[in-house]
Structure 1
Amino acid sequence: MRAASAALVAFCVIAGGAVQAQEPVGAAIFKTCQPCHSLDPAQAGMAGPHLAKLGGRVLGSAEGFDYSPAFRAAKARGLAWDRERLLSYLADPDAVVPGGWMSLPAGVSAADRAAVTDYLLGK
């Protein structure tokens, strides 16, 4: 009995360490965004703007990116990224910024959108 308990405790410690060592779910999901977006503000020439320090940033305001007229209009209105706006945008970009030039990969679930939103707003 003690040997079985010790083995179970050892397994839980090892498994727990493995879980802690894994990257956050949002980081893993963000990898699907990386063909177009970076978290490095210095990385230029991508299809989309960098997403570093996104929380609270005014839409269409990343330096050096040529935004669509729709994003320039959102910037002029002073709209900023927050959790609700980003969640809504990831669910339906055209509902938040009509004509914003972004399409989403197919099959992104609400849980995935929440995870990547939390990840991006924490960066």
Structure 2
Amino acid sequence: MRYWLTFFILISSCLFLNNAFSADIEKGKLIFKRCSVCHNIDKPNNKVGPTLLNVIGRQAGSLKGYNFSPAMTNAGENGLMWDRENLITYLHNPRAMIKGTRMATVRLQNDDDIDDLIAYIKSASTSDQKIDDSKKNEHP
């Protein structure tokens, strides 16, 4: 009985903390406006930067139809995947993480802002949205 009570308290605490620190998708959408100068999130075609549609879980530098810097391609070939931790590090200082990247220095310093941005990117990307390789580097 004592173990069940401890287990219940532990699980309840985790659920409470998860809700207390959940990311704000609407705030992330506002933050993304800075990114939208170079990146699409709602379309599979690229702008100056690659589309971020379904970027979470993607290997860095692997999107077909976009001409990545050799540094970004090498990072992906060496195993860099875009997950929360890597995006936080990258968005703090892209050029420090991947020397030779072409990404403009945006530098989001606040982890909460980055979490909000990631939440928005996740919400805007769905598994049924596919990247059409024929779009290549089309600009809107």
TM over 0.5: yes
Aligned residue in 1 for 2:138: none
1:120 paired to 2:121: yes
Cα deviations by residue, 1:25-61 (Å, 9 ceiling, x for unpaired): 10111011111000121x23x1110001111100001
Question: TM-score, with normalisation over the residues of structure 2?
Answer: 0.63
Higher relative contact order (CA 8 A, sep 6+): 2
The alignment's C-alpha RMSD in Å is 1.8
* Contact 1:71 1:97 (C-alpha < 8 Å) held by counterparts: yes
CA distance in 2 between counterparts of 1:97 and 1:109 reads: 17
Match of 1:99, as an amino acid? G
Q: Which runs of 5+ in 1 are unaligned?
A: 1-22
CA distance in 1 between counterparts of 2:109 and 2:59 reads: 26
Question: TM-score, with normalisation over the residues of structure 1?
Answer: 0.71
After the TM superposition, which parts of structure 1 deviate over 6 Å for at least 4 consecutive aligned residues? none
Aligned residue in 2 for 1:27: 29
After TM superposition, the structure 1 = structure 2 runs for residues 1-123 of structure 1, keeping only pairs within 5 Å, are: 24-39=26-41, 40-41=43-44, 43-44=45-46, 46-105=47-106, 108-110=108-110, 111-122=112-123, 123=125
Shift of 1:121: 3.5
* Contact 2:91 2:106 (C-alpha < 8 Å) held by counterparts: no
Higher Cα Rg, which structure: 1
> What percent of counterpart residues are identical?
36
